Amino acid sequence: MSPVSKGARLRHSRLARGLVLAGALLASAGTLAQDLLIRNATVHTATERGTLQGADVLVRGGRIHAVGAGLEGGGAAVVDAGGRPLTPTLFGGITGIGIEEVSGEDATTDNRLALGANAHEMTVRPEFDVTLAYNPDSLLLPVARVEGIGFTLLAARSGAGGSIIGGQGAVMRLDGGDQPAGPKLLFVDLGSRAASLTGGSRAAQWMLLDQLVDEARGRLPADAPSALLTPAGRRVLREHLDGGRPLVVAVERAADIRQLLRWSKRQGVKVAIRGGGEAWRVAGELAAARVPVFVDPLDNLPANFDRIHASERNAAVLRAAGVEVGFTQAGDASHNARKLRQLAGNAVAHGLPWEDALAGLTRVPARTFGVDGQTGTIAPGVRADLVLWDGDPLDVASLAARVWFDGRAIDMRSRQTELRDRYLRPEPDAGRGELPRAYPAAGAR
């Protein structure tokens, strides 16, 4: 996408300040009001109804009550959308939002377990649950939600001293609550990146996965000398294998994806793929197995030997074959969740239909990760987690004008907006005793 001009940036800065004020006024007037009528919106439902022009959305008790034309609010607060786009709040990707504050500071990251004495000593603890460390007061939450991000999949990561099974995570809504919105999901890392955790060979990953399945399903005695799981680990792994929830597997190379499909069929295990840099090369097999893939649309270079055939058309080819496609980011996903919608726009630029790109940020992750019916669509009965945009939500130049969780308008404020507003103030006059801009203005929060 082309860079935004200096004039455009200034216009957006002024618009953003206006939207912060509008959001604050709406929040102060309607924080307690969960009944809401949004009139005359371009409603992107992310359902089979598609996009509705000039439609209304009625919210009752924090949930969507009706979607259509000419709805009556019956005392509900009314917002005139002026024809602007209305979407569900968006998926922020597979991240560490709430368990990772500063990625370079270990004391602020809680997304991985390292109990082994060294990188070659594998400790398999699928019972490790990162949601227990979730901090709803993290500064990353408001940064994401003022940009229309409403939910994320909290991920457990593999690393030195751990194993290819990173642990459990779940979907978290960014509404300020501290409980998972959906079921616990298990995270697995495969391929060359995880080979150091399996004796230096990716081939050993399948051997160890088969053994772990045997342990969990009671085919290998718990007291066997080669056993890798604790009693709690066996119970948790069995629940994930047999509970109908997908294992979220990070894998890139086409050959590894084929092995994963064979393994999942043989073991009777559902999987969803995270990454899939070469997934387009096995699109037909993925479609036949009904395996969703969460791709990074900017992953288009052979950054390593697992992604020699990475392509900017990955998402488009997968979807054309019938694969459900969602989105996530390969690097620094927690701090850049707001950019995911722009990445989805890149996928559209390379052949993915616009409606499918929106689905990849709403319906697809909600359904894959077990929170459909709560979020991800605009339909009766679903939570009223909504975003009103000032333009195309997949365009880098568009902004979220208003955001609602359960029909409540949020304060459109974050640490980043506060810093912006502080340093946009005129340079203080030291001769008049005015404090430097690093100090908050009188009465500022």
**pLDDT the model gives residue 122:** 66
Give dist(CA 427, CA 12) in Å, integer.
21
> Is the predicted pLDDT of residue 316 greater than 70, yes or no?
yes
Contacts of 3 (CB under 8 A, 6+ apart): none
> Is the predicted pLDDT of residue 387 greater than 90, yes or no?
yes
Give dist(CA 418, CA 423) in Å, integer.
9
Residue 250 and residue 188 in contact, taking contact as beta carbons nearer than 8 Å = yes
Work out the mean pLDDT of the chain and round it to a whole number.
90
> Is the predicted pLDDT of residue 2 greater than 50, yes or no?
no
**pLDDT the model gives residue 106:** 84
Which of 112-116, 292-296, 363-367, 441-445 shows the lowest per-residue confidence on average (mean pLDDT)? Answer: 441-445
Q: pLDDT tens digit string along 8-57?
A: 444 444 444 444 444 444 443 344 557 999 999 999 999 999 999 999 99
**pLDDT the model gives residue 117:** 53
Give dist(CA 73, CA 37) in Å, integer.
6
> Is the predicted pLDDT of residue 397 greater than 70, yes or no?
yes
**pLDDT the model gives residue 24:** 42
Helix axes 231-242, 203-216, angle to 10 degrees: 100
Instruction: Work out the percent of the chain whose per-residue pLDDT is above 70.
Output: 90
Average pLDDT over residues 225-230: 93
Give dist(CA 416, CA 402) in Å, integer.
17
**pLDDT the model gives residue 9:** 41
Which of 22-31, 201-210, 288-297, 428-437 shows the lowest per-residue confidence on average (mean pLDDT)? Answer: 22-31
> Is the predicted pLDDT of residue 442 greater than 90, yes or no?
no
Confidence band of 121 (pLDDT split at 50, 70, 90):
low
Give dist(CA 434, CA 165) in Å, integer.
56
Which of 10-14, 352-356, 366-370, 401-405 shows the lowest per-residue confidence on average (mean pLDDT)? Answer: 10-14
